[in-house]
Amino acid sequence: MSHQNNSHRPEAESVWQYCWFRPISSAGFGLMRLGFGVIGFVTFLLQWSDVMKFYTSAGLLPHNLVDQMVRSAWRFSLLDALSPTLVFLLYLVLLVALVLITVGLYTRIALIVGVLLMYSFHEYALITLDGGDTLLRLIGFILMLSPCTQSITVTNLWKRMELVRTTGKDQPAHERTMSVWPYRLLLWQMIIMYVASSVEKFTGSTWREGSAVAITLHHGDFSRLPTALADALAGFSPAIGWFTILTQLAWILLLFIPILIWIRVLPQASQSVLKRALLLSGVLIHGAIFLLMDVGTFSLTVFVAYLGLLLSEDFSAIRKLLNRNFGASTIVLFDGRCGLCRRSVVVLKSLDWLHRLEFANFREKERKEKHAKHISMEVLDASMHIRLSNGEYEKGFFAFRSVSWHLPSLWILMPFLYIPGVPFIGDRIYATIAKNRPRCESDTCTL
């Protein structure tokens, strides 16, 4: 019997390891952390003038009445015994923590402080909350437990740049991974949310009869639509309602499909296909809610949760879709002897989510011959050059502007880079930096 148990043990350990501890890309949770920080910061910043009204004994809810007016069971808030001045001080600490969470600086401590304070403010004034706030703090709790600090953080970027400075090599990709269990925790939370929502809808007569969407679109407090447009869309109410119910209910399949894959009833790819279909359906549903209704931050918070459900194969599929009409990569020529240049390459790589850039050290003879054969070393040394997919070259500020088209996180800056006068100023700033670049040929670069 003992021998038999030992013979099955490796397989059991392998399944356990795969289900809970296999490494996955931490980029999805990094993006989710960023979105959590942004939505949390903006939401609380907009309450700046209402902090005293909603969260202190000097406002609408004195400490001794909170339990009676809200609820007493399962409620905890640091604000219960604090003066208005200390409450406002904690409010400022919360804003700072949310900024640190967003940029990824002292991330673990910031998450613990930020989530604790978010719960405290939410639990003091539950009457001000909506579904988006509830989901947001659930996301924060999962982030607080998870190893979400390996990707898309200032700390990790500094670490990569320091490695480049000291070793000349970038951080290995496997060091920007995390265990799969936080992903499963998030997935199960989304399944519970959607299945519970679909069951609740199905038990109500308006959803079964198909009038729920039409009623919502005509609601005076929530609808953004004029009456005439709401009337025109009312005819689609039954179809939209049943599509929503069935789509939300289908999330439960994500619990059972892995079992069917494990016993070889379904192919491995079926889980990714179903998840992407459900995410796309969710984007359509919540996107329509965001555009047509005023329901607070719920839709945006759902999108943030979706980011955490993206794995490396999902990012690859997104890149393939967005790059389907994209030609050859843009070649970024850089000076491998320059510390500033090597660190700049690390930053560009971290922003190149679409993988549209290729980096070539022109100090390497073969790379120069391949990508910049007819450009002298003196010219290359004077400023950064890029080779476009059509074979043309750009340099300096104009090279940076072209590169920015391929970096989604910089798209918000693109209109400003074309304002008259900005190219002239940008080119002068770049020239000044390039002039001082030789100081960065050693490890003691001060730029």
Average pLDDT score over residue span 94-109: 95
Tell me the pairing of strands 357-361 and 177-179.
unpaired
pLDDT above 50 (res 100): yes
Average pLDDT score over residue span 166-193: 87
The whole-angstrom separation of Cα 217 and Cα 201 is 16
Average pLDDT score over residue span 374-400: 85
Instruction: Name residue 321's beta-bridge partners.
Output: none
DSSP 8-state assignment for residue 46: T
pLDDT above 90 (res 325): no
The model's pLDDT over 90-99, given as tens digits with 9 standing for 90+, comes to 999 999 999 9
166 Cβ contact list (under 8 Å, min separation 6):
443
- The per-residue pLDDT for 203 is 86
Q: What are the CA-CA distances from residue 381 to residues 43, 387, 441 (Å)? A: 47, 15, 12
Q: Give exposure, 13-25, as e/b (b: 16+ Cβ within 10 Å).
A: eeeeeeeeeeebb
Rg of the Cα atoms in the chain: 26
pLDDT band for position 438 (cuts 50, 70, 90): low
Nearest CA to 363 out of 160, 163, 168 is that of 168
Most confident of 167-181, 304-318, 388-402: 304-318
pLDDT above 80 (res 258): no
Record the tokens describing residue 270, joined without a space: 């079926």
- The per-residue pLDDT for 298 is 92
Per-residue three-class SS string for 11-22? HHHHHHHHHHCC
- The per-residue pLDDT for 162 is 82
The model's pLDDT over 34-49, given as tens digits with 9 standing for 90+, comes to 999 999 999 999 999 9
102 Cβ contact list (under 8 Å, min separation 6):
33, 34, 37, 38, 41
For residues 260 and 289, the model is more confident at 289
The whole-angstrom separation of Cα 198 and Cα 404 is 42
The model's pLDDT over 3-56, given as tens digits with 9 standing for 90+, comes to 444 444 445 567 777 778 888 889 999 999 999 999 999 999 999 999 998 898
- The per-residue pLDDT for 436 is 65
Nearest-10 crossing angle of helices 27-45, 312-322: 80
pLDDT above 70 (res 1): no
Q: What are the CA-CA distances from residue 23 to residues 14, 18, 27, 259, 393 (Å)? A: 13, 9, 12, 20, 40
pLDDT above 50 (res 293): yes
pLDDT band for position 440 (cuts 50, 70, 90): low
* Domains contained in the chain, CATH given: 23-178 (no CATH), 182-316 (no CATH), 330-440 (3.40.30)
Q: What is the pTM of this model?
A: 0.86
